[in-house]
Structure 1
């Protein structure tokens, strides 16, 4: 016997979840309320598709007794696997309005889906899956399982079905918030995305920060892009950016932009180890580039050359651009010096050049080679340059 009707849970979803940012927490609480209402749910899942550069989507899993949901991601290409094709999730994406399966032998044989065998072993007796419909035809999936003998009753299923429109709305709001953050992190980086989401969206908004600056550029890319097939060029660029970017992000740097075959990153001096972290990132990137070049040579390609310029100083960090199109980046004399040092690597035939100001702040002159004073285009006075 149900202790409440579904309208009370619909009201809760619509009016009392406003302060909860994360859909997994709302889902866990909703499943607990379903149990309190007499709905015999023992397991529930949400399957969301996302706009993420690495993951096609995510699954949120709740089991009876869990205080927090388990969250897992699945990559692109999962739809081509046998595990996906032989699953009720595939049926829903294929157009099924509902998938219902009794799991007890008394109800007869069921489709040979591995998931059903797993659910039986866990003690579940019934399973149901529905599409969770968002706006503009976007479709996700919600499932429930029961461990009560005989499974869900017709009243149980009507109760659950009545919740779907309200839960779809609540989940879409949270998912869009998460997607907005993911897209911003993908295209402008985690730190800039925080600033933008916090309201830094007007032209000229920003702050002055101290930062170690790294600018990297690929050598002879114009010739490569003219001669190589398009797909090979894209693969080469992606490999190069992986080699350079992953160490930067690993050591706390922020990649602000990719400029064709170039990269601009900063390490904010609010972190006392920023300069040392930048050097660790460069060393690891050099190792990664060496491995990438070994692979390219085995494919019959020439090894890739690159230049890195490093400086330190105050930069203006914020929104720059036209009235309707903005770029969240850094500008200032310190950025210009890093850029000029990167250009100087071509002349001096050294892959990495650093300003004396950076080296002194990093406290790492040992092992560095002093290359003397060099004039930099657009600057009045030459600066002392070092290499390692």
Structure 2
């Protein structure tokens, strides 16, 4: 067994207090967790602690990702982040790793190059060899309510960390946990708002637009999408199959909306409501592109369904343009950030008309007037719509 001795000098006197002061006082204006972590590691390295590589592994509540990894290296400018996929815990690379041991309840996990008496995790050993690291130590980052995340620090000094450095890092981790948890929660709040109400509405809510009845009038293109025959499907199909169908359908129609600058305000069972504010450049063209791309995506989805022997999914898209009230609607204790107004009703009526006219996408004359060259539209005439005073000029999105 190779013996390891303290080969470096002890951290400078007062370093612990200086780092605590920076974490709890001076870093208050650092908005992002990544910058706080990088600033902490930079100061450790600058003041003689042999940190060359460090990571935070934090679990999140994202619909696509299990968590994030924030990575700091001594020779990189700024921290780097990457998303961690669901299923990570079942991978060979995770099992037996320092992070797995910490999440399983260990108070510390450490590996030093050349040390025997315990088999090193292959990926950790490979990382250390590639980056010239000699010592890696991981600890739990304890957040409130027992939530447990992982912090690791690695050294490139021959012999690794001194005992004094290990003690210093152990002493500083509770303060680092307090400071990073605040920012992690802020990130999660923004992430959840983006996921459930959309980025624009989420930004308005975070900026204080939370009073019932508060809102603004905006000019927008309004898109309503609905799936046909869903009631029959939901009654006859197993629950998991219905959920999988809805997810495939919403992927097909939602991705084009978001890719073209639209904001999905709500899902209504098997339908959705989205807007494209007209103060955005080429909002009319972007809305039409989103509708066309959604139509193409639904064709691709139906081809895949046909290959599996399944019936095609029918749908309708209605698009109108006009003024809407954009803000908080609801009860005293439960609010919905949405749009209301006659223009929304017209878009919904147009979507309903798609079935009668055997069209996937119908738009109003008011929306068509937004386009510089509406060559992709074919006028079908004027039609009476329930709840709309005058017959409405209706266009079909051409093939």
In the superposition, the TM-score normalised over structure 2's length comes to 0.95
Match for 1:228 among 209, 214, 237?
A: 237
In the superposition, the TM-score normalised over structure 1's length comes to 0.97
Deviation at 1:45, TM superposition (A): 0.5
Deviation at 1:109, TM superposition (A): 6.1
Give me the whole-angstrom Cα distance separating, in 2, the residues matched to 1:284 and 1:5. Answer: 58
**1:28 alignment counterpart:** 38
Is the counterpart of residue 284 in structure 1 residue 293 in structure 2? yes
CA contact (8 A) 1:214 1:311 kept: yes
| SS at 2:174 equivalent | helix
Deviation at 1:110, TM superposition (A): 4.0
1:248-259 equivalences in 2 (<5 Å): 248-259=257-268
Is the counterpart of residue 209 in structure 1 residue 218 in structure 2? yes
Deviation at 1:66, TM superposition (A): 2.1
Is the counterpart of residue 70 in structure 1 residue 84 in structure 2? no
Match for 1:60 among 70, 84, 92?
A: 70
Give me the whole-angstrom Cα distance separating, in 1, the residues matched to 2:291 and 2:303. Answer: 18
Give me the whole-angstrom Cα distance separating, in 2, the residues matched to 1:20 and 1:296. Answer: 50
**2:25 alignment counterpart:** 15
Match for 1:41 among 27, 47, 51?
A: 51
Give me the whole-angstrom Cα distance separating, in 2, the residues matched to 1:351 and 1:122. Answer: 56
Give me the whole-angstrom Cα distance separating, in 2, the residues matched to 1:178 and 1:320. Answer: 26
Structure 2 unmatched runs, 5+: 1-9
Give me the whole-angstrom Cα distance separating, in 1, the residues matched to 2:217 and 2:176. Answer: 43
Match for 2:194 among 185, 190, 204?
A: 185
Deviation at 1:14, TM superposition (A): 0.5
Give me the whole-angstrom Cα distance separating, in 2, the residues matched to 1:65 and 1:146. Answer: 13
| SS at 2:369 equivalent | helix
Match for 2:365 among 356, 369, 385?
A: 356
Match for 1:96 among 106, 131, 144?
A: 106
Match for 2:154 among 145, 148, 154?
A: 145
| SS at 2:169 equivalent | helix
Structure 1 unmatched runs, 5+: none
Quick check: 29-38 or 176-185, which moved more?
A: 29-38
| SS at 2:93 equivalent | helix
| SS at 2:72 equivalent | strand
Q: What RMSD in Å do the two structures reach over aligned CA positions?
A: 1.2
Quick check: 360-369 or 71-80, which moved more?
A: 360-369
Deviation at 1:283, TM superposition (A): 1.0
**How many aligned residue pairs are there?**
387
**2:177 alignment counterpart:** 168
